Structure 1
Amino acid sequence: MKKLLYLFIGLGLLLGSCKSDDNGIDNPNDPNNPTNDNLDAQAFMWNALNLWYFWQADVDVLADDRFANDQEFTEFLEEHPNPSDLYFNTLLFSEDRFSFLNENYEELVNNLSGVSKSNGLEFGLVRFSEGNGLFGYVQYIVPNSDASTTDIKRGDIFTRVDGTAITLDNYVDLLFGDNDTYTLTLADINGTEITDNGTEIELTKIANQVEDPILVAETLDINGTKIAYLMYNRFLSNFNEELNAAFGQFVADGATELVLDMRYNPGGSVNTSRLLASMIYGTHTNDLYIRQRWNSKIQGQLSNEQLEDYFASSTGSTAINTLNLSTVYVLATNSSASASELVMNGLAPYVDVVHIGETTRGKNEFSITLVDDVDNSYIYNSDRESQINPDNSWGIQPLVGRNENADGFFDYTDGLAPNILLEEDLENLGVLGDPTEPLLARAIAEITGISSKKSHSVQMPAKAFTGSRIETPLRDNMYLDKPLHLNR
């Protein structure tokens, strides 16, 4: 068992662990000397955030001198018997919207790789104009999922779960609770009215469901112009080769334009965003993609190589297939976050990014996965799982830094505003990848200079306040996935 790692260790991690003093006497703060085995999780969270958290200096309780001695620290932890409550209600900065945690770090790591329990239905939830009632609309169906074996499809509306009307008070339990199977009641849109139609669809969540983030990748020939279209729904590093292969096909098809559809993409791997940006702009390895900004404790402990990411020429095993574009058309909405926004911001100094859709979510911070592995500065490493405290399975995913582009711009906490405002229409969501789908059609019109014969006006905007991508462990996260080496 590992003991509480007290406040004195917070700064000590930057200098190396102390096992004993010069006389060989055990250091009273040695993490191998157990004291209170019931507070391991709380102590881990405080110490990890004291070291890594981006806003450590802005949270009084995380100050290095917050506790005069071990007894004060222990008493503080004992006031917070629930580790989750301590994390969210006491240790996080008031403006932090995105840090999260999981009681099982293995589940957290799997989620970041795109593996979760899911029925494959991706949807948004919208409030009715009056009262606290909600309805859902289907954004897309994950291939090879339980939902893909049913008749439910993009654009379908649902108002009930297991016969119960969805409201602000119950939607979490109904749709994101422990119930692996539930039945949706579908509805029709008639003008501005939504009415149940009696159709029921039963869905079952499947363990270890893996989603390929590339939903659609095809080259459209529009009056002789070859336009690559990529519907990309998450930045997952274990699909980097598939992403590169898709661009290889675009190149083989002779595509000279790209529509990058990230309207539902909540983010993911920073490195994958770098690779995607390179596939768009080119393998210009001397051009800076992004630069990291950490808290004052960490910033000076990292080398320039660690802090700066340049465009890539390889995925790590395969040469990058690139379109070498000077303009890219991006479909992005309020559901587009973190690594999606990072691609847009990282490309902006080099490429004309034509943003069609809505203002993005505004998540410009990145996170890392931290576990109770003291000797590795709490950083999760799959090769060190035997070194993680066996009595503390919690994993945390705190925001630890911000990325700025080559121009030094990073301030988009209010989101990236579109060049062309166009909301999705619940009455006409269209088929993803079809040239007549409204957002894609608008991008095609920009590329070709030819407006659609049928102008599109939005009748019922898809104003989702939350959805399946936000309310699950995958959520809107941007995580750093390259080795960290502190200069000690």
Structure 2
Amino acid sequence: MKFPLLPLSCAALAVMLTACGGSSTPAVVPPVPDPVPPDPVPVSYADASAGTSLELWNRCEVMHAGPVQNQPGSQADEKGFIRAITQETYLWSSEVPAIKASDYPTVVAYFNALKTPKLLASGHPKDRFHYSYPNEVWEALSAGVELGYGISWNAGANQVPRQWRIAMVDAGSPAARAGLQRGDQLIMIDGEDFIYRGDTAAVARFNAALAPASANQPHTFTWWRDGRLFDTALLAGSVNALSVQSAQLLDTAAGKTGYLNFTSHNAPAERQLYEAMTRFRDAGVKELVLDMRYNGGGQVTIASQLAYMIAGPGASSGKVFMAYATNGRLNPGRPTSFIDRAVGLGASQPLPFGTVLPHLDLKRVTLLTGPGTCSASEALINGLRGIDIEVRLVGGQTCGKPYAFIPMANCGTTYFMVQYQGTNQKGWGDFDEGFAPDCKVDDDMSHALGDPAEGLLATALRLNAGASCASAARMGGRSGVPAQAGTDAGSSGSAAAAVVQVRSPLKEIAILPERR
């Protein structure tokens, strides 16, 4: 999840108006904790400038253009900012090892090392959500524009032998223009065996091809479809993908059902969700199937608005969608409520501020989930369950990210570190291993998303009509198993040393665009 950490008032930050006003630019003010006595045993960080994050903010070794004026500084100043912001705001600041800043050649390398080394019971790293981007990349991504091919992947366990298949192709993308389809299996990249090559050098080449740094790097991909091999040459481009990929009305045994394929909690989603849910409301939808199997998260505000549109004011009025726990130094701020109006998030076609949101007043919603269901998507599950809305999960275990943070821009780079753990109305938020599905069904790559015969959707429709998990999935030609908590926790955040990147880190993070 993503949300903003702006505890200082705009009056106190007159020189930082872009962070406090209605700008569509992501917040750039570093979060600052409430004054508290120093830690009894302060963590020692050697070879970085001393000072608070606010004192060291934007003291840069190299000047960068941006909404806030840089000040001349040094790499030690930039590392000092990272040290200070970690100590002040990082959720697990007490677990960060003492390291020498001078042992790391760059500020980003130093930042990458300043996180907890602890592991979860599954063996996955406790902190799998520690990233940075150049400012301009982050600003484009947060507006829904990503450099790539327009492919979402089904990567299974993401280990050799790999069985990567295309899960979804964005309309108008390079992949769509090349004729690629859901279900196509990736066999080779630039002539190298993608299925069996697992050495670090090969993985680095695969990552460079799958997530190119610029648009002028052509790569050749070999695919398997319907018993034959074929090649495509792809050149990455700016993909402006829809957050709501489709919204359909289905006549089912359980009554009028809405199917919503929702892939990202970003700024453009505010209008797209409003339009889809208005259509569902006007059609008298009685059941909702929300396909979020490839939704890695985004803004908590969007998740809160969607939760309100599902539950309505009767169930959500005066209730907490998400409250926040911190490291004890950072002010947790006010909880996020169930938001019933548009906040006017920056997008090419923003929904006007204050627009009243539609609501379906449902007592139950069915989500299609998998390892790609992360962050703000999981916050939606937890927030609705916190007000006793039945949330039924069909598919696979979610990724496990009950955490949130605010992007922190400093000297041309935007940093993301976990600063909050989110909890619902009932005070619960311990899902760092993910949510287990109520009915475990493998992703069905043989049907298009939204096809009522597709395995997950077919199972959900039959469950809504009263069938059991096993019979609902079996009737769809698949085997359904009621899942046990803690199983099937596959994730692209594996602890393996050389892992092909399934999707950009942005797909697994989120921000709340409001002052906290």
* Same-fold call, TM cutoff 0.5: yes
Please give the residue correspondences for 1:181-220 in structure 2 after superposition, counting only pairs within 5 Å: 181-188=218-225, 197-207=228-238, 209-220=239-250
Partner-residue secondary structure (3-state), 1:297: coil
Partner-residue secondary structure (3-state), 1:291: strand
1:124 aligns with 2:161: no
1:56-109 CA distance string (max 9 Å, x none): 1222439xxxxxxxxxxxxx332322222212224445421112112x123123
In the other structure, the counterpart of 1:329 is: 366
1:244 aligns with 2:274: yes
- Which has the larger displacement, 356-365 or 475-484? 475-484
2:301 alignment partner AA: N
Distance 2:252 2:209 in 1: 44
Contact 2:31–2:89 (CA under 8 A) maintained in structure 1: no
Distance 2:455 2:145 in 1: 31
Aligned match for 1:140, one of 159, 168, 192: 168
Distance 1:224 1:334 in 2: 28
Percent of aligned pairs with the same amino acid: 23
In the other structure, the counterpart of 1:297 is: 329
1:99 alignment partner AA: H
Aligned match for 1:358, one of 396, 407, 426: 396
Higher CA-based Rg: 1
What is the CA distance between 1:127 and its match in structure 2? 6.4
Gaps of 5+ in 1: 1-9, 17-27, 63-75, 190-194, 373-391
For this pair of structures, how many residues does the alignment match?
413
Contact 2:371–2:396 (CA under 8 A) maintained in structure 1: yes
1:342 alignment partner AA: A
1:301-321 CA distance string (max 9 Å, x none): x5xxx4212212212321111
Distance 1:142 1:424 in 2: 18
Partner-residue secondary structure (3-state), 1:237: coil
Distance 2:287 2:157 in 1: 37
Aligned match for 1:153, one of 181, 192, 198: 181
Partner-residue secondary structure (3-state), 2:80: helix
In the other structure, the counterpart of 1:38 is: 75
Structure 1 stretches of 4+ moved >3 Å: 10-16, 28-36, 90-94, 126-129, 177-180, 450-455, 462-471
Aligned match for 2:141, one of 111, 118, 133: 111
Partner-residue secondary structure (3-state), 2:209: helix
Please give the residue correspondences for 1:16-415 in structure 2 after superposition, counting only pairs within 5 Å: 31=56, 37-61=74-98, 76-94=100-118, 95-102=126-133, 104-126=134-156, 132-166=160-194, 167-169=197-199, 170=203, 171-178=206-213, 180-188=217-225, 197-207=228-238, 209-223=239-253, 225-283=255-313, 284-299=316-331, 306-316=333-343, 317-349=354-386, 350-372=388-410, 392-415=411-434
What is the CA distance between 1:42 and its match in structure 2? 1.6
1:199-256 CA distance string (max 9 Å, x none): 112222113x221110111111124710000010011123202211110000111111
Distance 1:250 1:47 in 2: 48
In the other structure, the counterpart of 1:456 is: 477
Change (3 A) 1:311 1:145: same
Change (3 A) 1:183 1:118: same
What is the CA distance between 1:174 and its match in structure 2? 3.3
Distance 2:32 2:397 in 1: 43
In the other structure, the counterpart of 2:442 is: 423
Distance 1:55 1:286 in 2: 31
Distance 2:500 2:141 in 1: 14
What is the CA distance between 1:163 and its match in structure 2? 1.9
Change (3 A) 1:408 1:465: closer
Change (3 A) 1:11 1:219: closer
Change (3 A) 1:239 1:136: same
What is the CA distance between 1:177 and its match in structure 2? 3.9
Partner-residue secondary structure (3-state), 2:408: coil
What is the CA distance between 1:371 and its match in structure 2? 2.0
What is the CA distance between 1:128 and its match in structure 2? 9.2
Distance 2:107 2:158 in 1: 36
1:374-403 CA distance string (max 9 Å, x none): xxxxxxxxxxxxxxxxxx212101110011
1:98-122 CA distance string (max 9 Å, x none): 12112x1231232233222121122
Gaps of 5+ in 2: 1-29, 37-49, 61-70, 119-125, 344-353, 481-487, 493-498
Change (3 A) 1:126 1:281: closer
1:206 alignment partner AA: G
1:321-356 CA distance string (max 9 Å, x none): 111000111111111111111000100032011111
Distance 2:500 2:300 in 1: 22
Partner-residue secondary structure (3-state), 1:186: strand
1:395 alignment partner AA: T
Instruction: Please provide the CA RMSD for this pair.
Output: 3.0
TM-score by length of 1: 0.77
Distance 1:125 1:162 in 2: 19
What is the CA distance between 1:285 and its match in structure 2? 2.9
- Which has the larger displacement, 132-141 or 398-407? 132-141
Distance 2:394 2:431 in 1: 17
In the other structure, the counterpart of 1:72 is: none
Change (3 A) 1:253 1:168: farther
- Which has the larger displacement, 448-457 or 401-410? 448-457
Distance 1:454 1:220 in 2: 18
Change (3 A) 1:341 1:134: same
Contact 2:433–2:489 (CA under 8 A) maintained in structure 1: no
Distance 1:187 1:463 in 2: 27
